[in-house]
């Protein structure tokens, strides 16, 4: 049984560009959350998707958007990238109270 | 005040030592509490949930004091493999939401031979 899978694992983008990160939840999990973890910090909640809708959002600007597909997979999109967007982006899936994290996507903005 | 605040660390201890991590949270409506472990450049993994009655898993003991809004983790007889960052996590952040985890900044532990 595959766990939470994320792609790509590493990527480098230039300021002003746009990026799309992808997440496939653990089998049977219907809820996907995204977190941003900057170096030396704990993960920060970006938003959560359930039944293809954004259920809750953290304190992130509108440049951060997402989508959930009927198969529960999800995408995180970030527009107009800033240097400060460089971080590990973590996807977490859940069904009920148990939460599993993917290995993350390392984004470097130069 | 930060939603979840932890000892800043880092902690450097010899093998076999006992080490304690402390954490406070600001939202009294928070409902669930956890300790996660994160190895360098890896994803966080659940170490243990924390209950008001206190709970133990081998060398690890977690305690929750709701009145003081305080969470602790004790590691006894520390091993080299315990070296990692320990994250205090609360479910049910601002507004009492059940939907998001709120993480502390993490405390780095290095266990030395």
Check A101 against B104: CB less than 8 A apart. Answer: no
Check B99 against A56: CB less than 8 A apart. Answer: yes
pLDDT at B15: 98
Averaged pLDDT in 10-residue chunks for chain B of 113 residues:
90 97 93 94 93 92 95 98 97 61 96 97
Whether B23 and B5 have beta carbons less than 8 Å apart is answered as yes
The string of pLDDT tens digits covering residues A16-71 is 999 999 999 999 899 999 999 999 999 999 999 999 999 999 999 999 999 999 99
For A31, the token pair is 């809820």
Task: Compute CA distances B100 → A109, B15, B62, B63, B78, whole Å.
Answer: 26, 35, 21, 21, 31
Residue B2 CB neighbours (<10 A): 12
């Amino acid at each position: 049984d595959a766990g939470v899978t994320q792609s790509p694992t590493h990527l480098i983008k230039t300021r002003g560009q746009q990026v799309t990160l992808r997440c496939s939840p653990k089998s049977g999990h219907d809820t996907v959350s995204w977190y941003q973890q900057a170096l030396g910090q704990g993960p920060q909640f970006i938003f959560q998707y359930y039944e293809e809708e954004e259920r809750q959002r953290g304190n992130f600007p509108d440049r951060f958007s997402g989508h959930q597909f009927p198969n529960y997979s999800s995408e995180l999109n970030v527009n107009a990238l800033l240097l400060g967007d460089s971080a590990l982006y973590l996807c977490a899936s859940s069904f009920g109270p148990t939460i599993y994290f993917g290995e993350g996507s390392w984004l470097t903005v130069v | 005040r930060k939603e979840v605040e932890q000892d800043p660390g880092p902690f450097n201890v010899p093998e076999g030592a006992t080490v304690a991590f402390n954490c406070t949270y600001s939202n009294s409506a928070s409902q669930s509490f956890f300790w996660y472990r994160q190895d360098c450049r890896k994803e966080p993994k659940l170490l243990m949930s924390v209950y008001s009655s206190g709970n133990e898993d081998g060398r690890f003991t977690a305690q929750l004091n709701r009145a003081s809004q305080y969470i602790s983790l004790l590691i006894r007889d520390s091993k080299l493999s315990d070296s990692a960052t320990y994250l205090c996590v609360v479910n049910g952040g601002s507004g009492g939401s059940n939907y998001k985890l709120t993480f502390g900044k993490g405390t780095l532990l290095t266990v030395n031979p």
